[in-house]
Structure 1
Amino acid sequence: MSTATPVAELALRVRDRLALRHPGTLIGELATLPGGHSGLTYSVTAGEQKYVVKAVPPGQRPIGRNDVLRQARVLRALSGSAVPVPGLAAVDEVQPAWFAMEFAAGEAVEPVLDEPEVPATTARARMLDSARVLRALHGTDVSGPTLQAPEPLDAAGELERWSRTMHAVPAELRPGGEELLARLAEDVPDGLPPVLLHGDFRLGNVLYVGERAVAVVDWEIWSVGDPRIDLGWFLLFADHHNFPQLGRAVPGLPTEAELLDAYRDGGPELPAMNWFRALGRMKMAAIMGHNLRRHREGKHHDPDQERLPPTIAAMIRTARDLLD
């Protein structure tokens, strides 16, 4: 019986697989990558080549955000497509499963929220280009066996799922939230043909070198469903006014209308976009309310969460305005 630690066992498995890919090359040690929100994430070198390793945490089930094989499937399905993604180097389905992908060097900066600031002209070009990347993603064939696509997600299902998250937030942390949920439920739009969805598509999850997208990352919650679900979320990050006390003005950043035009590329108007824009705001309010609740209950101490109430209120208020 092995007495090695889970990390040591993982390192040995990674080393053996990468050695087959790079015979005679020194394979480095696993180094924890900060900022990951799912599974275990490491970097490792094979000579001058660098990889990112994502693995199921020991003792945890490979479901949800820990299902790294599901993430590997979408990367394989998009390999060679118009959507830039890191190349897969190795996939090991033996539990606890893991995969290695090429390390993509670049910046993933949300212009109105993140540091470091990027030049305004660069931020504008990246956001417009990301709209085109999102269109390419939504044009991906989801019927192939590689993807093993789940059941499509429609507007009603997305609303139901995020309503549960919102209801888990104390009422005092989501002023006007009940009215917003009721308004959304009153007029759920008919669906569009399902497409491949990223689930958290925004500039913070697209690596850029200059004005060129080199990799779309963080595929933990990809799904198949109505394209407007991704779009409503993406558009949310175009305006710093959506994030009081958190966001900053970026001169010349594209408006939501400009981003929609870039996405459509001359195609037909998308119906009911205001409903999906409101849905995106509701989702953000629910996420922030959940994080603030966890902080105040002592489950995840982070004083920075106390900056969120004005943004939560603004998300709910502007969502209701959109539905008017």
Structure 2
Amino acid sequence: MPDQTWTVLRGGRTNHLWKVEDPRGARVVKRYASNAATPLFRNDPPDEARVLVALEGTGLAPQLLYAAGSSTDPFLVYRHQAGKVWREGPQKVARTLKALHARPVTAALTALPAAPDGTDALAQQTRAMIATLPAAQAGRLPRPDPLRHMPPSGIRCLLHGDPVPDNLVCTSDDLDALPVLIDWQCPALGDPVLDLAIFLSPAMQQIARGRVLSPDEKHAFLAAYDDPAAADRLDALQPVLHWRMAAYCLWKIHQDRPDMAYGAALAAELAALKDLSG
């Protein structure tokens, strides 16, 4: 098309993204990388399309324009979300996640997979990752002791699944303007604590910002989310959540194409785990 420009977007760590601009406006073309799913983060084009349709008009996600390609080479096209990726002000993120988790789970969303719920399911997911590691590396991940048992919450709300800083676009400097969530390739239904844990994760903050959240920032985030019951579950699950993320970081480092950015991320998670043990 005349007067059309394509620019590679390099923010994502999984799929291929381009910003396309022409007189009709700016759009994102997302081509899914094959075999890009990981033990914690799926890469599911139909689920991403399903959620974008369900959230249209809410301001929580970009507008889907169309899905195309084939089952072996899928891609989505959606409106480009202007703004800057989130770096400061965790209260804004908390309010976005609170609004997301309060959305009704419509019939179209009931097909989404269930997220692991409770200590046993999270520990099982962690052990599965550790089992794939070289024995010498697996020994770097001490099992939290004691590992407090938390039963499944039974909650089934819509989860983004990967609300890391680079997946939150701030459209305005206005403190009341909520960041928009992008990159919806691993949504799920489950306990909102899982989304909170991903955002608060020392590893994910280290990779995106080069530093973890301060205690004051964590407190501000949880205060803005304003759900004491969720905060209590998050606190009880911290040992297994840090253990799980540390295992994921080590898994990323030991793939055929290692992502060495996860070295500092691993150190951040192990430090958090050590702090919990006193």
TM bucket (normalised to shorter chain) is: 0.7 to 0.9
Query: What is the letter of the counterpart of residue 166 of structure 2?
Result: G
Match of 2:169 in 1: 207
Q: Which of 259, 271, 275 matches 1:314?
A: 271
Quick one: distance in 2 between partners of 1:215 and 1:183?
Answer: 38
Q: CA deviation at 1:277?
A: 2.5
Measure how far apart 1:161 and its partner are. 1.6
Q: Which residue does the alignment assign to 2:29? A: 53
Equivalent residue, structure 2, for 1:264? 226
For residues 139 and 180 of structure 2, what CA distance do their matches in structure 1 show?
38
Q: Is the 8 Å Cα contact of residues 153 and 223 (structure 1) preserved in structure 2?
A: no
Structure 2 Cα separation of the partners of residues 306 and 177 of structure 1: 13
Question: 1:264-312 CA distances to partner (integer Å, 9 max, x unpaired)?
Answer: 26x6564332233333322321222123334xxxx33666555456335
Q: What is the aligned counterpart of 1:42 among 15, 18, 36?
A: 18
Structure 2: stretches of 5+ with no match in the other structure: none
CA distance in 2, matches of 1:226, 1:70: 18
Alignment-mate amino acid for residue 131 of structure 1: A
Shift of 1:102: 0.7
Q: What whole-Å deviation, never above 9, does each CA across 1:138-190 have from its counterpart, x for those lacking one?
A: 1111132256333454223333223312343445546662422x643x51334
Match of 1:130 among 88, 93, 104: 93
How far apart, CA to CA, are the structure 2 residues paired with 1:29 and 1:291? 34
Aligned-partner Cα distance in 1 for 2:221–2:80: 29
The Cα offsets for residues 32-73 of structure 1, whole Å up to 9 and x where unpaired, read as: 32233333322212325111011244xx47988443222111
Moved more, 101-110 or 133-142: 101-110
Shift of 1:136: 1.0
Secondary structure of residue in 2 paired with 1:196: strand
Identity score, percent: 22
4+ runs deviating over 6 angstroms:
61-64
Counterpart selection for 1:195 from 157, 169, 175: 157
Indicate the SS of the match to 1:145. Answer: helix
* Preserved CA contact (<8 Å) 2:203 2:212: no
Measured in 2, the distance between the counterparts of 1:270 and 1:305 equals 27
Moved more, 151-160 or 226-235: 151-160
- 1:206 Cα deviation from its structure 2 partner: 0.8
The answer for the alignment partner of 1:285 in structure 2 is 246
Q: Secondary structure at the match of 1:278?
A: helix
- TM-score, reference length from structure 1: 0.69
Relative to structure 1, is the Cα distance of residues 237 and 108 closer, same or farther in structure 2, using a 3 angstrom cutoff? farther
Residues 163 and 206 of structure 1: is their aligned pair in 2 closer, same or farther, counting only changes over 3 Å?
Answer: same
Q: Distance in 2 between matches of 1:46 and 1:205?
A: 24
The residue number in structure 1 matching 2:186 is 221
Using the alignment, how far apart are the partners of 1:176 and 1:189 within structure 2?
Answer: 27
Task: Evaluate the alpha carbon distance shift between residue 55 and residue 134 of structure 1 in structure 2; reply closer, same or farther with a 3 A threshold.
Answer: same
Which residues of 2 match residues 92-103 of structure 1 at below 5 A? Answer: 92=68, 94-95=70-71, 96-103=73-80
| Structure 2: distance between partners of 1:172 and 1:61 | 26
Q: How many angstroms apart in 1 are the aligned matches of 2:244 and 2:115?
A: 19
User: Is this contact kept in 2: 1:233–1:281, CA < 8 A?
Assistant: no
Q: Distance in 2 between matches of 1:146 and 1:304?
A: 34
**Structure 1 contact 39–54 (Cα < 8 Å) conserved:** yes
Aligned 8 A contact 1:232 1:279 in 2: no
Counterpart Cα distance in 1 of 2:189 and 2:56: 18
Matched pairs, number? 268
Please tell me whether Structure 1 or Structure 2 has the larger radius of gyration of its CA atoms: 1
* Equivalent position amino acid for 1:280 in 2: L
Which structure has more helix as a fraction of its residues? 1
1:48-103, Cα deviation, whole Å (9 max, x unpaired): 5111011244xx4798844322211111111122x521111222264433221111
Normalising by structure 2, we get a TM-score of 0.78
- Provide the aligned C-alpha RMSD in A: 3.5
Shift of 1:231: 1.8
